Chains A and B, each alone.
Chain A
Amino acid sequence: MTADVAAARQIAEAVTDPELPMLTLADLGILRDVTCENGHIVVTITPTYSGCPALREIACDLQHRLTLAGFAGSTVRTQIAPAWTSDWITPDGRRKLHAAGIAPPNPAAAGAPPPRGPVPLNLIMAPRDPVACPQCGSLDTAATAAFGATACKALLRCGTCHEPFEYVKEFWWPARGPRRGPSFIRSPCSGWTR
């Protein structure tokens, strides 16, 4: 059955995300496992956000494609721990996002504040680190909305080429370290900044 699992994995990896159709499940990092149980394929996926409506679509797609490829009776399972982080998007996935005009997420793990950390008291919703414009590469970009058309994206605008673009938000690892209190300074020109 080993060969079967490898073939099924190949099919599962190639299924695309309905909301980010340029990415496969493998690119997005939400395919957790492909195994064989009692002669049937079991695919395990994890949601990006708790309420992600695409998860069900993905499960249906997976089943449909596996059935077409001859893997009848396969099942799709959900796994919620460990929680997905945007760091699981592969280098290939990041390249594809960029090519589609969507800025890939900044690293979430390195130097990330835990969710219970400081409240960023700036008046403009801004990613923690500069995001490069996917059109011209400029780092002179600003967020216009922290929540975009899907749960995983924010809206930004480039100050150099003036193009608006989408940004896949960095999504943190769960906080486990010591809790940090809120901290901020006031900058006279740009409102509140950390």
Chain B
Amino acid sequence: MTDDEFTAYHDLADETGDHRWAFGTGFTDPLEGIDTSVPDGVNAAALAAYCLMLGDDALIYSHRLQQWMTRLPELEEETAIANIALDLLGQARMLLARAGRAEGAVLAESTGRSEDQLAFFRLEKDFRNVRLAEHADADFAQLAGRLLIFSTWRLALLGRLHDSRDPVLAAIAAKGAKELAYHRDYAAQWVIRLGDGTELSRTRMQAALDTLWPLVDELFRADTVAGDLPGVAADPAGLRAEFDDVLGTVLAAATLDHPGAAPMAEVAGKCGRDGVHTEALGYVLAELQSVARAHPDAAW
């Protein structure tokens, strides 16, 4: 912009007292005004790590869904995936903000890192999302299959956090669970439509699930962070029965075979939750972080 344009913008902003540059911008801390003190007896460092995991899952998966924009087969699917990605981005913002505040409690500072610092200025090895979240969908069948797997698992997880001893996490989970119920329904219906559709659509839906299945076991892997948060976090292994129940029902309705592919290997006993990712995450971060890193002082 030229100086004149800048002046016009500032005049307008001063006149209205409104310094946003577009609808939805002018971001403030999503937990502003909410009591984010860490409850007595809760391990603040573990709480920060846990919220970072759940926040990273939502942030990275949301970005992968955003990459589908303008590439979906129908307008209705565009609005659906955009809305789902937006819901997850909202969850990510609150969870990252929660992680930052809990981190602040550990450092005995008023606040830890902001949501932007966590989203845009961390390296790959510092991201704690499951590897399923970073996968790049090769076709629409993978989009539907991955959304079914992700939303079924996350709905089971957030459903167990309603009564978390951390009231902020409980509130974020209660809100997110309602959204995920819609996401899961949407995905289930596409998996059934494609699976119980034509020979071609069934073949491709089955191939998509076979491709994704190696990333499923990791979702239920025990992690030490959840273990350090009794009454606050959910035991990942405890989500498996509900997940299997829902997937079994949907796959049966879709006339699809239950995938049997072996889990993706861990690297020296480590995977996404430990910061050990697939190549795919680097591509997500390169895009997600490029603007913020090029303009580190910018405000959104």
Interface, chain A (partner B; CB < 8 A): 18, 44, 47, 49-54, 56-57, 59-60, 63-64, 67, 75-84, 115-116, 119-123, 125, 144-149, 151, 155, 169, 171-172, 174-176, 179, 181-182, 184, 186, 192
Contact = CB atoms under 8 A, between A and B. Distances in A.
18 contacts: A51-B87, A56-B24, A80-B172, A81-B170, A82-B174, A83-B171, A115-B178, A119-B249, A121-B249, A123-B189, A123-B192, A144-B76, A146-B185, A147-B76, A147-B186, A175-B159, A184-B249, A192-B192
In terms of DSSP, what is the predominant structure of the interface of chain A? Answer: loop
Interface stretch (B41-49, B88-96, B278-286, B290-298): B88-96
A61 to B, nearest CB: 9
Given A120-B188, A184-B249, 5 more contacts: A49-B86, A56-B25, A75-B33, A148-B83, A172-B181
A174 B178 contact: yes
Given A60-B18, A115-B181, A174-B162, A155 B25 contact: no
Given A83-B174, A176-B162, A115 B34 contact: no
A119 B190 CA distance: 13
Interface string B74-108: 00100110111011111101100000000000000
A116 B159 contact: yes
B167 A81 contact: yes
Interface footprint category on B = 35 or more
Contacts of B26: 56, 60
A57 B189 contact: no
Given A44-B33, A149-B79, A51 B188 contact: no
A52 to B, nearest CB: 7
